[in-house]
Amino acid sequence: MEDSTPILTIDGPSGSGKGTISRIVAQQLGWHYLDSGALYRAVAVAAGWADVDLADPSALVRCTFDTDIRFVDEPGHELKILVNGADATLELRTETAGAAASAIAAIPEVRSALVERQRRFAREPGLVTDGRDMGTVIFPNARYKVFLTASAKERAERRYKQLIDKGVSVTIDGLLREILARDARDSQRTVAPLRPAPDAAHVDTTGLSIQEVVEQVLSVVRS
Ligand X SMILES: Nc1ncnc2c1ncn2[C@@H]1O[C@H](COP(=O)(O)OP(=O)(O)O)[C@@H](O)[C@H]1O
Residue 135 partner contact from ligand X, ligand YYY, none using kind-dependent CB cut-offs of 5 to 8 Å:
none
Q: Judged by CB under 6 A, does residue 36 bind ligand YYY?
A: yes
Residue 9 interacts, among ligand YYY, ligand X, none and using kind-specific CB cut-offs from 5 to 8 Å, with none
Query: What stretch of H or E contains 201?
Result: strand 201-204
Min CB(178)–ligand YYY separation in Å? 9
Q: Quick one: which segment of 55-63, 101-109, 203-211, 212-220 binds ligand YYY (CB under 6 A)? A: 101-109
- Decide whether 41 or 145 has the Cβ nearer to ligand YYY: 41
Q: E-strand spans in 36-173? A: 69-72, 80-83, 86-87, 127-131, 144-149
Q: What is the secondary structure of 179-191 as a DSSP string?
A: HHHHHHHHHH-SS
| DSSP H or E run through 176 | helix 172-188
Convert 202-215 to b/e letters by CB count within 10 Å (16 or more is b): ebebeebeeeebbe
Phi-psi region of 12 (alpha: psi -120 to 50; beta: other; left: phi over 0): left
Residue from 41, 52, 150, 205 touching ligand YYY (CB under 6 A): that is 41
Q: From ligand YYY, ligand X, none, which one binds at residue 6 (CB under 5 to 8 Å depending on kind)?
A: none
Strand bridging mode 201-204 / 144-149 = parallel
Spatial contact of 22 and 10, defined as CB atoms under 8 Å apart: yes
C-beta nearest to ligand X: residue: 17
Query: Could you say which of 142, 182, 213, 214 contacts ligand YYY (CB under 6 A)?
Result: 182
Q: Nearest residue to ligand YYY, using CB?
A: 37
**Given the DSSP bridges, would you call strands 144-149 and 7-11 parallel, antiparallel or unpaired?**
parallel
Piece of 55-63, 100-108, 146-154, 166-174 that binds ligand YYY (CB under 6 A) = 100-108
Determine if 22 is a binding residue for ligand YYY (CB under 6 A): no
Tell me: cis bond preceding 57? Omega within 30 of 0 counts. no
Largest CA distance in the chain: 49
126 is in an annotated binding site: no
**Is 17 annotated in some ligand binding site?**
yes
Q: Considering beta carbons, is residue 43 or 52 the nearer one to ligand X?
A: 43
Q: Does residue 101 belong to the site contacting ligand YYY (CB under 6 A)?
A: yes
Chain residues in the site for ligand X (CB under 6 A): 12, 14-20, 158-159, 162, 205, 208-210, 213
Residues forming the site for ligand YYY (CB under 6 A): 14, 18-19, 36-38, 40-41, 98, 101-102, 105, 131-134, 182, 186
